Amino acid sequence: MRCIQRWLSVVVGLMLLHSVSWAGNAWQSWVADVRQEALAQGISAALFDRIFAEIGEPSRRVKNLARSQPEHRLTYSRYLKTRADNYRITLGRKYYKKYQGLLERIGHEYGVDPCFIVSFWGMESSYGSYMGNFPVIKSLATLAYDSKRPEFFRKQLFIALKIVNDGHVSLDKFKGEWAGASGQPQFLPSSWVKFAVDYDG
């Protein structure tokens, strides 16, 4: 029994050591570096400090989700089978009919077939029924700090900070899926600033 207790103590100690090393001095040093670059890009120092005080440390859940993503690619037929189910298609027809006038105006203005808009909407957020509940900036900071594509997510992080800094969305409402996409069409920040239009003035 004592042997087991001793072994468990060692395991717990190693886990805590790993936790401290992952979200300790290296993280603080990384945040300081990001802060310097963010301020050079015009982000408010007070806003940056408030955001990262709330973040505290990287998200272990986001880190684990990033590392558990499958490496294989889905074929087109398998993707359709798993994502374009009858329920989603039925909802798509319903929403197309409900917003047909608006969709046709948007389609005419931007040269995009309304059917594609509705399909994209359904695939990305199931017509807005699930848009994610992860704090976008914390997710992006985590992935910029510790992922297979740190430079990509670092770029997204700075754009997300600018979105909040410029008052386009409040920090508490800036939620999305674990990799930083948000909103009805699940745009990453770079797509958000290039393509997003709310179309309500």
Token reading at 179: 């990799």
Report how far residue 171's alpha carbon sits from residue 186's, in angstroms, rounded to the nearest whole number: 17
Residues 189 and 135 in one domain: yes
Q: Is the overall model pTM greater than 0.85, yes or no?
A: no
Q: Is residue 1 part of a domain?
A: no
Per run of 10 residues, the mean pLDDT along the chain (length 201 residues) is 48 44 79 98 98 97 90 76 84 96 94 94 92 97 96 98 97 96 96 88 64
Residues 90 and 186 in one domain: no
Question: Could you count the other beta carbons within 10 Å of the beta carbon of residue 116?
Answer: 10
Measured at the CA of 127, the angle between CA 123 and CA 128, to 5 degrees, comes to 115
Residues 92 and 145 in one domain: no
Residues 42 and 121 in one domain: no
- pLDDT for the residue numbered 6: 53
CATH classification of the domain holding 166: 1.10.8.350
Range of the domain at 49: 28-69+131-195
Report how far residue 189's alpha carbon sits from residue 89's, in angstroms, rounded to the nearest whole number: 28
